[in-house]
Amino acid sequence: MSTSRRILFVASEAVPFCKTGGLADVMGSLPKVLWQMGHDVRVVIPRYQKIDQGRFRFLPLMPEMNVLYGGVTFHGSVLRCSYPGTEMPVYLIDQPEFFGREELYGASNKDYLDNNRRFAFFNMATLWLLKGLDWQPDIIHCNDWQTGLVPALLAAHPIVSEDPFYQDIKSVFSIHNLAYQGNFDKFTIPEIGLPWEVFTEKGLEFYGKASFLKSGLMFSDKLIAVSPTYAEEIQVDGQGAGMEGSLRLRSEDLHGILNGIDTSVWSPSEDANLHASYSRGSIAGKAKCKADLQKNLGLPVKKDVPLIGMISRLIEAKGFDLVVDALDELEELDAQFVILGSGDTEIESKLFNAARRNPEKFAVHIGYDDPLSHRIIGGADMFLMPSFYEPCGLTQMYAMRYGTIPIVRRTGGLSDSVFQADKLSIESGKGTGYLFESYTKEEMLKSIYEALTCYQDSKSWKQLQQNAMDKDFSWIKSAKEYSRLYEELLLEDEV
Ligand code: ADP
């Protein structure tokens, strides 16, 4: 291994503590793998009310932490535990007024109005924590807008940038989703105590707002997008949520690294959520998982009727406008659908109506349900992900690992992880799923029909399943790329 480095991951969610999406999955695995590779890795997250106290052994680390910025002292504290199954330290920043709430970012489909104050505190408190610990990381690795202020604080906040303790610390910013930007009133700047000089086009100003995301994009030393294709796409006008120009400016420092998956959580041979276990060499258990899923969701238990699964936030960006638009055609198919998710109420009710009209074909489960998500990945034959854009996407990789064939739009990480199946590519061991290009219902349906046709040919289908299960999506390869990138950054500075 290369030199062991001190790396602090800062994130607003991490499995197994709290999760709303793929970011939490990544934070639950990448730091652990880097730690296992020999780096001194630590993770810091807010201590939300949602985090199950009883499950993790938190110990008080700093019972009182007074964080001063913008002329105000904020009182907080820090707890500590080890990442389950390892000795890797996890720090939880506690501030009941900010984090002692029902949800992470907002309730009833509305963001909390003081998210700027909540996450500014989290970012600043993270830096205070380091001083309190007297632990100087080589790199602070920030993730998405909730941690985007850290690079600006390091570069320009008088309390931080003028303190020698922080001067050698480098920052890396990961883009998990550019659509969520944390754009706030510009008077957030003096509130935090940042100088107005940061509020420029080349700084964190974004159409008159103070953008926490843009702060991460402009002030960090390196940028990482969660797949190579997404790293390219977001620099193209119209595909970078307004940040294209800024990203092109940082093009040399922007790298795309495909996320991996945590194979200790997602493996059909060890998954306790499944009705039966199975593996690439012995796939019989998958049929039992399918029958169990059909039975439990009230669908007719039919072995030969293909079952198509979806697990997602129910929003247009995930392709649900196409799905809703195609409901008439989907209801005609000799196939069953199981959909798990929550989000847009209009999409929810249209899917519900389909299930009411056609209970034999549609099972719709509104909500967030981790065990059920495993049972769908295991029990379904196919997995539909017609996303308009997809930075990386994890569920298609989970699906392939479970021999569940993805049908996806060719965008972002979906195009980096799924290889188009056809007669030749299936036989040669390459094809792993079905992809469509244009974002239209017709193209999506065409891919679904192709998959259903292949399903009828059991020999080809089995081979396709084997190909998908053969793919290695574990973190090791990507973690090595991260490690190389850290090294490059630190050596640049030492030269
Ligand atoms: P995103 O982060 O954009 O939501 P990803 O595919 O990267 O999309 O990650 C989503 C993660 O959240 C996956 O682990 C997926 O299984 C999980 N997930 C999404 N919706 C639900 C749900 N309703 N119930 C359980 N897990 C869900």
Model confidence over 420-477: pLDDT tens digits? Answer: 999 999 999 999 999 999 999 999 999 999 999 999 999 999 999 999 999 999 999 9
313 touches ligand 1 (CB under 6 Å): yes
370 touches ligand 1 (CB under 6 Å): yes
- Alpha carbon of 162 to ligand 1 centroid (Å): 41
The residues, any chain, with a CB within 8 Å of residue 397's CB and separated by 6 or more, are: 259, 260, 261, 417, 471, 473
DSSP E strand boundaries for 190-279: 205-206, 209-211, 222-225, 254-256
The residues, any chain, with a CB within 8 Å of residue 413's CB and separated by 6 or more, are: 226, 227, 229, 230, 258, 259, 390, 391, 392, 393, 396
Ligand 1, pocket-test mutation among 395, 418, 473, most atoms within 8 A of CB: 395
- Alpha carbon of 323 to ligand 1 centroid (Å): 17
Nearest atom of ligand 1 to the alpha carbon of 20: 12
CA dist 257 and 226 (Å) reads 5
- Asked if 184 contacts 190 with a C-beta cutoff of 8 angstroms, the reply is no
Residue 78: phi and psi, rounded to 5, are -130, 135
Paired tokens of 386: 């017609």
Q: Is the peptide bond before 63 cis (omega within 30 degrees of 0)?
A: no
What's the farthest any 2 CA atoms get from each other in the chain?
70
Q: Which residues of the chain carry a pLDDT beneath 50?
A: none
pLDDT of residue 317: 95
Residue nearest atom 4 of ligand 1, based on CA coordinates: 21
* Residue whose C-alpha is closest to residue 175's, from 229, 116, 256: 256
Nearest atom of ligand 1 to the alpha carbon of 392: 7
The residues, any chain, with a CB within 8 Å of residue 474's CB and separated by 6 or more, are: 260, 261, 263
373 touches ligand 1 (CB under 6 Å): yes
- Alpha carbon of 489 to ligand 1 centroid (Å): 32
pLDDT of residue 2: 65
487 touches ligand 1 (CB under 6 Å): no
pTM, rounded to two decimals? 0.95
DSSP E strand boundaries for 70-163: 72-82, 89-94, 106-107, 110-111, 139-143
Q: List 384's β-bridge partners, or say none.
A: 407
- Alpha carbon of 276 to ligand 1 centroid (Å): 23
Element (H, E) at 341: strand 336-343
16 touches ligand 1 (CB under 6 Å): no
DSSP states along 6-24: EEEEE-S-BTTTB-SSHHH
CA dist 493 and 210 (Å) reads 29
CA dist 463 and 225 (Å) reads 32
DSSP E strand boundaries for 176-285: 183-184, 205-206, 209-211, 222-225, 254-256
148 touches ligand 1 (CB under 6 Å): no
368 touches ligand 1 (CB under 6 Å): yes
Find the angle CA(301)-CA(303)-CA(304) to the nearest 5 degrees.
125
* Residue whose C-alpha is closest to residue 81's, from 43, 116, 24: 43
pLDDT of residue 495: 60
Task: Go through 36-50 and write b for each residue having 16 or more CB atoms within 10 A of its CB, e for each that does not.
Answer: ebebbbbbbbbbbeb
CA dist 258 and 450 (Å) reads 27
Residues recorded for the chain = 495
393 touches ligand 1 (CB under 6 Å): yes
- Alpha carbon of 383 to ligand 1 centroid (Å): 13
CB atoms within 10 A of CB 157: 24
- Asked if 159 contacts 28 with a C-beta cutoff of 8 angstroms, the reply is no
- Asked if 50 contacts 60 with a C-beta cutoff of 8 angstroms, the reply is no
Ligand 1, pocket-test mutation among 146, 311, 339, 374, most atoms within 8 A of CB: 311
CA dist 327 and 352 (Å) reads 11
- Alpha carbon of 22 to ligand 1 centroid (Å): 6
- Alpha carbon of 25 to ligand 1 centroid (Å): 9
Ligand 1, pocket-test mutation among 312, 364, 365, 397, most atoms within 8 A of CB: 312
25 touches ligand 1 (CB under 6 Å): yes
Burial of 249 (0-12, 13-18, 19+ CB in 10 A): middle
Model confidence over 374-402: pLDDT tens digits? Answer: 999 999 999 999 999 999 999 999 999 99
